[in-house]
Amino acid sequence: MIPFARQLESLGYSGLRALEVGTLQVNLGWRCNQACKHCHLQAGPERLEQMALPTIREVLRVTETGAIPVLDLTGGAPELNPHFEYLVATLRRLGVHVRSRSNLTVLLEPGKEHLPEFFRKHRVELICSLPYYQQEMVDRVRGPGAFFKSLEALRRLNSLGYGQAGSDLELHLMYNPGGAFFPPGQKPLEDLFRRELAQRHEIHFHHLYTLLNMPIGRFQDYLRKSSNYESYMGKLLASFNPATLSGLMCRSLLSVAWDGRLFDCDFHQALDLPLLPGLPQTLEEFDLQALASRPIRLAEHCYGCTAGAGSSCGGSLAGAE
Ligand code: SF4
Ligand code: SF4
């Protein structure tokens, strides 16, 4: 495998730098009500990592300057953090756009049933993971019953106005493949999901984002056990697309771990690959100017973001299709 940095050098890049910190992606903890087979964080009900209140206050401190327009909340299931609602409500009071990633089934957990109304009240943008529009695949990856629970949560959100045509209550779906293959084209897949979910279940959403499975965490375990790791990495390398480099999410996003440490992205966080030495490493050391143009740590799994149409938490990369 050609190291990712060497691949860039051959194109005349001496590394990659961030262009801004337009989004702070905050991981509120690795606890999740699900334990999906592809999870890059190996999240699950037994995980104890959770962002504590002092760290949440640090997130608010670096946000209240107003210099970072978008807060992107993720996990695990971010809704399981006991301070989730306090954080969202405070961020909205500060005028920050809040995007929250939901696995949908968590909205049916005891004590979480009020969250759809809470989201509506605070005009939270939702990105909801739904690996497919058919039961068999979703239950295989996410566990028995996950598909119909996800539909029930989507119906509740739709009934409040989320995902409806013309509504500003944004509801987007996130697709990832159910095996060692790349996502199909984002737009045709969005059209397919839209038609099937509307016709079969009367469910509506705004956009669908595709995310390639990163060769790390549980998905890497699966690749190795099924003897697919080498061929998957080979496909990533062979599909390297330089047109994705300008839109890589690490160039405009900074990731905060549950313990307040800073990373270039959630994938690096999963592998405990911190920011390069010499940069601020924690929320306490936060320095927007230094972070906004920071050199990015490169790793082999970066090929997962640059393959084909490119991949990110916001879907395939603009300009790459
Ligand atoms: S993929 Fe998402 S929903 Fe599934 S275990 Fe990981 S964090 Fe939870
Ligand atoms: S894994 Fe992707 S988002 Fe993370 S640093 Fe590499 S290219 Fe950037």
Report the chain's C-alpha Rg in angstroms: 19
Q: Classify residue 142: in a domain, yes or no.
A: yes
Residue 264 Cβ contacting ligand 2 at under 6 Å = yes
Residue 301 Cβ contacting ligand 2 at under 6 Å = yes
Number of domains in the chain: 1
Specify the CATH number for the domain of residue 98.
Answer: 3.20.20.70
Q: How far apart are CA 47 and CA 57, in angstroms?
A: 22
Q: How far apart are CA 93 and CA 40, in angstroms?
A: 32
Q: Classify residue 4: in a domain, yes or no.
A: no
Q: Classify residue 5: in a domain, yes or no.
A: no
Hey, which of 27, 28, 31, 32 would you mutate to test ligand 1's pocket, going by the most ligand atoms within 8 Å of its Cβ? 32
Q: Classify residue 135: in a domain, yes or no.
A: yes
Q: What is the pLDDT of residues 216-267, one digit of tens each?
A: 988 999 999 999 999 999 999 999 999 999 999 999 999 999 999 999 999 9
Residue 318 banded pLDDT, cuts 50, 70, 90? low
Q: What domain range includes position 242?
A: 16-306
Residues facing 174 on adjacent strands: 129, 209
Q: Classify residue 259: in a domain, yes or no.
A: yes
Q: How far apart are CA 286 and CA 260, in angstroms?
A: 10
Q: How far apart are CA 321 and CA 316, in angstroms?
A: 8
User: Would you call 223 exposed, middle or buried from its count of C-beta atoms within 10 A (0-12, 13-18, 19+)?
Assistant: buried
**Closest to 26 in 3D by CA, of 108, 110, 90:** 90
Q: What is the pLDDT of residues 88-97, one digit of tens each?
A: 999 999 999 9
Residues facing 240 on adjacent strands: 307
pTM: 0.95
Q: Classify residue 134: in a domain, yes or no.
A: yes
Q: Classify residue 271: in a domain, yes or no.
A: yes
Q: Classify residue 2: in a domain, yes or no.
A: no
Residue 305 Cβ contacting ligand 2 at under 6 Å = yes
Other CB atoms within 10 A of residue 261 CB: 18
* Ligand 1 centroid to residue 183 C-alpha, Å: 18
Q: What is the pLDDT of residues 139-162, one digit of tens each?
A: 999 999 999 999 999 999 999 999
In DSSP notation, 285-313 reads G--HHHHHTPBPP--GGGHHHHBTT---T
- Tokens found for residue 174: 């996130």
